[in-house]
Structure 1
Amino acid sequence: MNRLKMPVWSLAGGLILLQMILVAIIVHGESLTFDEGDHIFAGYMMWHSGDYGLNPEHPPLVKLVATLPLLQEKLWVPPLQQRMFKTEAYRDGRDFLERNDGPKHRLLFRMRRAAGVFAVGLSVMVFLMGSTFFGESAGLLALLLVVFEPNVLANSDLVTTDMGVACFFLATIYCFYRYARQPSVIRLLLTGLAAGLTLSAKHSGILLAPMLLGLMLVEVACAEPGRRKRTAGTLLGGFAAIVVLAVVVLWAFYGFRYAARPAGLAMNPTLSEYAAPLKGMNSWMIGHLAHWRLLPESYLLGMTDIHYAAQQYPIFLLGHDYPHGVWWYFPVALSIKTTLGLIGLVVLAGIALISRRLSQGRELAYLVVPGAIYLGVAILSGMNIGTRHVLFLYPLAALLAAAGLTALARQNRRWIWIGGGLVACHVVSALAVFPAEMAYANEAWGGTANTHKYLSDSSVDWAQQLPHVKQWVDAHPGEECWFAYSAYPDLRPQAYGIPCHPLPTAHTGGEILPVDVPETIHGNLLLSADDLEACDWPSDQLNIFERFRRMPMAEQIDHSVFVYHGDFDVHEAAALGAVQKSQILLRKKRPAEALVAAEKAVALQPQNVLTQTALGDAQTALGDKNSAQAAYALALAAAHRLEADAQPLFVPDLEQKLHP
């Protein structure tokens, strides 16, 4: 790489500083997102007691960095209760932050700024890669596109793992490029270190293996015919060394200890129990890695959890709920969440490539090969809960767009006007919704106010809206309100001074609601986007707020909480609340009370699979098998009325209950 001039670095530094300011404004107005409390508590306990068994779904790196500001604080730690590891981390994380931080988020803001180092690192890598691959102008343009990319802005300072892994993916690819061009021990060590940091940021870091192997093939193909064997041998040896170095770095973040939890604490469930349902290659791989202790126990628990998560997540896409992922999710989601300006610039890059004005084939391969592998795996994964899972694609797209535009501009200056217009569209579109970048959608899909009609979860509503809801409540003093909040009870609006009564959702099955939901409510109804669209339910028919999708809303809060005024029939919500109450009472060995709640649910929704199942379960617990069989038969009939791909989630279990 040619030495970059000081004015170029100054411009790059100014853009990165601007990015930091924009991100600080965004996160200062957001409450905890769904996963942050979980990550923060897990990270603090790693520092506090070497406990890697809380939130093993993600490796330690981001959590450790984010919680560095807590090390000098004297904080209350909730007593561990040996619950299932996810429940333990989410609920203790909630209590930990409510007690030690509160709604002003003094500590949270500091932790988010610490986590922001990965966004800065990503921007630096984009600038370096662009300048090295395609020249200084391309490097600056790519950086500009990333700084104003809505998805990058939305995820930059959150205490989550997506930005960290995207940063280190880029770093590893860049380091490997430099190593492949001019092998040396220092460059090999840097590549191994970057690969280890990628593995330590998120489990998807293992995709580095096929990415680097694909890039090795590119390097061999680009080598002179007489040097290809030597190049292949050098790169294979380097790849083996990178793998070893990366695994050593990964072990270092777990303190070179196999056990997930310190002495005296056990995993719930254990790795063997959690992995028992795995079949085939997945079972063989996890079993042998655990037997030979080749990877830390906590990391293996995370790998196991990924397999289940990919199968179990219901999704919402283009107005419909699905019980599982669909292959077209990410192509559609990217078309919605990407600015039209960036899409247009990528099209220009395609024109530059086809017309052979963009001729850096090796460098383009370092963008296209990793991007294609990553997108291909994402499409097949089933984890369809937000574009944050493909955040890595956005810096690659920015680099590709910058390369294409600068190549075209060198041939004909008129392309500058076209490309400049698209860059302006990109920036203006991002700033037009600022600071609500989480819910961004481009203008072709109706803009940010309509994102919830097509996508859900972290693409719209990641539970980040509570400060804005509090402002709304303060502007309506003394008014009655009911709130379906997507993260309750793992996060509680009451902790922010929001007095609204909670409504049942897919996530409220673990705690009895403080107030029974009446059949009709009067006043204000607040629905978070995830609950309005029922993204956590496997069937449209189970959406208890379906009628509100067709009703005009009075207000939008942060483009992800919707306000309705008046008197509303909510008997479906009342029924779900009664179902969940019955299930909790059964777990507490109080079947008579459970039966009362289940009978109430059935009275409200007699043709519902959940209400009839709850009634049958309560009657079975009381020994009334004949009545239970009748309830299960009605539940089975209701299950058969669901969409075909949702029926397997209910029918086999009900048939087993009917014919034990």
Structure 2
Amino acid sequence: MVSEDVRTSSLAVIPPWMQRMWLAVCLVLATLWCVTASTRLSATYDEPCYLTNGLEHWRSGSYELLMNRGTMPLPIDVISLPLYVWEKWRGTPFRMTSTKAGYPLLLDDLSLLLPWARLGTLVFLWLLIGYGWLLGKRLAGSWGGSLAAALLAAEPSILAHSSLATTDISVAACMLALVYHFDQGRGQSWGKRVALPGLWFGLAVLSKASALVFAFLCLITMEWIRLIPGSLSLASVTEETSSEAFGSSCEGVDKRPPERMGFRRVANLLRLMSPFGSDMIQIMAIAIALTLIYVGTDFKLDPALTQWADSLGDSNGARIIQWLSHHVRIFPNAGVGLVRQVQHNMGGHAVYLLGESYPNGVWYYFPVLLIIKMTVAMLLAPLVVLALRPKKLANW
């Protein structure tokens, strides 16, 4: 006779074929919503520029326009490639208007091309839902994966961004893949531990320059949590322990009172993180190398750098810099795009929040915006768990 515990455990585990079918349903429904919505939405502020700059790259092979704007090219290439293929097939270039400086600014055929360009974002949406499903399974078993796929496929902000030809979904998808492969690869071979995370780190940076900071912080946080005694890292969760998270208890959590964070414990954690430091240097080196190789260069001089070097004076160091600025033809490159983005962010931004405009921004803009964008279910879930089963908050 099968015991009650075994029967409960079997009910808590979803069969693999049903998990895959559920994932397929989530992908199809999210895709249908985005496809139907993309034809009804007008152009956003960034889309005309992304499409024109992307088409210009496919025509000329240069990323100069994107790098000068601090825009990383991967999602732009994906959304503009179908338009370039269409353009080559019909034999007539799509028309563009230009600014006084000669930069392409707006497609005359924008209303025709925009819905097709927006389909490119679906590639990253599928990645996002797929890796969300894998991470959910790794964290909380079959039920965790199924719930994660459903939440991502029905999340209003994700669906809205996935219906546009922009860059937000691409960086989110690549960072999710990075987190998954980084956690899965700890303690494995060099390829799984370093090379694969390095690849996804590079793809995240190629999607958006801010990934250089946020992806780095994610990996440090994950490794720190993994090494803290009694913590529940992704790698420590099995199907059995995750099933019990939906049942009576979670054995993966150490219920002993937390040890005092003294100097010895911090020093021990730093010692344990030294292999991670070596891996992290290699991961970032792979990411930067991939970014530089992908963007390449037009083998030009940088006029701004040359002008700055000429203003340095007549010292020995200044003469070396001046010679380099006049002779080393490595611009534009990915470094230019990253620097432009940093300069743009340091300049500050005016913001509009809850009916009010703030020319210099406000410190609480992003926290409030995050609360606005989060779905009601995600905001209420911790409160429901706190009211019904407070001990289960250890799994949150």
TM-score by length of 2: 0.72
Distance 1:155 1:195 in 2: 21
Question: Which residue matches 2:20?
Answer: 9
> Residue type of the partner of 1:340?
V
Does 2:378 align with 1:337? Answer: no
Distance 2:352 2:152 in 1: 27
Equivalent positions of 1:53-452 (< 5 A) are 53-56=64-67, 57-72=70-85, 73=87, 74=91, 75-76=93-94, 78=96, 83=101, 89=103, 92-94=104-106, 97-98=107-108, 101-103=109-111, 105=112, 107-180=113-186, 182-207=188-213, 208-222=215-229, 231-255=272-296, 257=297, 259=298, 270=304, 297-348=333-384, 355-359=390-394, 404=396
Q: Give the conservation status (yes or no) of the 8 Å contact 2:14–2:142.
A: no
Over 3 Å counting, the alpha-carbon distance change for 1:344 and 1:181 in structure 2 is farther
Shift of residue 170, structure 1, vs aligned partner: 1.0
Distance 1:245 1:4 in 2: 38
Question: Which residue matches 1:24?
Answer: 35
> Residue type of the partner of 2:199?
L
Distance 1:24 1:253 in 2: 29
Q: Give the conservation status (yes or no) of the 8 Å contact 2:203–2:287.
A: yes
SS of residue in 2 equivalent to 1:32: coil
Write the deviation string for residues 47-95 of structure 1: whole angstroms up to 9, x where unpaired: 2112212132211100111111123224145487772xxxx55xx231x
Over 3 Å counting, the alpha-carbon distance change for 1:181 and 1:326 in structure 2 is farther
SS of residue in 1 equivalent to 2:273: helix
Distance 1:35 1:198 in 2: 19
Question: Which residue matches 1:379?
Answer: none
Write the deviation string for residues 93-121 of structure 1: whole angstroms up to 9, x where unpaired: 31xx21xx353x2x322221122211111
Question: Which residue matches 1:608?
Answer: none
> Residue type of the partner of 2:368?
V
Does 2:50 align with 1:39? Answer: yes
> Residue type of the partner of 2:157?
N
Q: Give the conservation status (yes or no) of the 8 Å contact 2:49–2:105.
A: yes
Write the deviation string for residues 396-415 of structure 1: whole angstroms up to 9, x where unpaired: xxxxxxxx4xxxxxxxxxxx
> Residue type of the partner of 1:322?
Y
Q: Give the conservation status (yes or no) of the 8 Å contact 1:40–1:93.
A: no
SS of residue in 1 equivalent to 2:228: helix
Distance 2:306 2:33 in 1: 45
Write the deviation string for residues 527-568 of structure 1: whole angstroms up to 9, x where unpaired: xxxxxxxxxxxxxxxxxxxxxxxxxxxxxxxxxxxxxxxxxx
Q: Give the conservation status (yes or no) of the 8 Å contact 1:112–1:159.
A: yes
Q: Give the conservation status (yes or no) of the 8 Å contact 1:127–1:142.
A: yes
Distance 1:322 1:275 in 2: 37
SS of residue in 1 equivalent to 2:352: strand
Distance 2:175 2:309 in 1: 28
**Paired residues, number:** 327
Shift of residue 30, structure 1, vs aligned partner: 1.4
Distance 1:272 1:215 in 2: 42
Q: Give the conservation status (yes or no) of the 8 Å contact 1:16–1:147.
A: yes
SS of residue in 2 equivalent to 1:51: coil
Shift of residue 309, structure 1, vs aligned partner: 4.4
Q: Give the conservation status (yes or no) of the 8 Å contact 2:292–2:335.
A: no
Shift of residue 271, structure 1, vs aligned partner: 5.5
Distance 2:14 2:185 in 1: 18
Write the deviation string for residues 18-52 of structure 1: whole angstroms up to 9, x where unpaired: 00000111111112211111111111222211221
Shift of residue 297, structure 1, vs aligned partner: 3.6
Over 3 Å counting, the alpha-carbon distance change for 1:203 and 1:346 in structure 2 is farther
Write the deviation string for residues 349-391 of structure 1: whole angstroms up to 9, x where unpaired: 6679x9442545xxxxxxxxxxxxxxxxxxxxxxxxxxxxxxx
Q: Which has the higher contact order (CA 8 A, sep 6+)?
A: 2
> Residue type of the partner of 1:8?
Q
Distance 1:301 1:331 in 2: 27
Over 3 Å counting, the alpha-carbon distance change for 1:351 and 1:248 in structure 2 is farther
SS of residue in 2 equivalent to 1:30: coil
Distance 2:308 2:118 in 1: 32
Q: Give the conservation status (yes or no) of the 8 Å contact 1:38–1:93.
A: yes
> Residue type of the partner of 1:245?
I
Over 3 Å counting, the alpha-carbon distance change for 1:325 and 1:133 in structure 2 is same
> Residue type of the partner of 1:357?
K
SS of residue in 2 equivalent to 1:71: helix
Q: Which moved more, 1:207-216 or 1:19-28?
A: 207-216
Q: Where do 5+ consecutive residues of structure 2 fail to align? A: 1-12, 232-264, 311-320
Which is higher, the Rg of structure 1 or of structure 2? 1
SS of residue in 2 equivalent to 1:321: strand
Over 3 Å counting, the alpha-carbon distance change for 1:271 and 1:223 in structure 2 is farther
Q: Give the conservation status (yes or no) of the 8 Å contact 1:180–1:219.
A: no
Shift of residue 167, structure 1, vs aligned partner: 0.8
SS of residue in 2 equivalent to 1:58: coil
Distance 2:272 2:14 in 1: 27
Question: Which residue matches 2:314?
Answer: none
Q: Give the conservation status (yes or no) of the 8 Å contact 2:99–2:105.
A: no
Q: Give the conservation status (yes or no) of the 8 Å contact 2:97–2:105.
A: no
Over 3 Å counting, the alpha-carbon distance change for 1:233 and 1:335 in structure 2 is closer
SS of residue in 2 equivalent to 1:316: strand
Distance 2:273 2:368 in 1: 38
Give the RMSD, CA atoms, in angstroms: 3.5
Q: Give the conservation status (yes or no) of the 8 Å contact 1:116–1:158.
A: no
Write the deviation string for residues 285-340 of structure 1: whole angstroms up to 9, x where unpaired: xx9xx989999645424433443345342222233221111111122223333332
Distance 2:307 2:14 in 1: 55
Q: Give the conservation status (yes or no) of the 8 Å contact 1:38–1:55.
A: no
Shift of residue 161, structure 1, vs aligned partner: 1.0
Q: Which moved more, 1:44-53 or 1:298-307?
A: 298-307
SS of residue in 1 equivalent to 2:42: coil
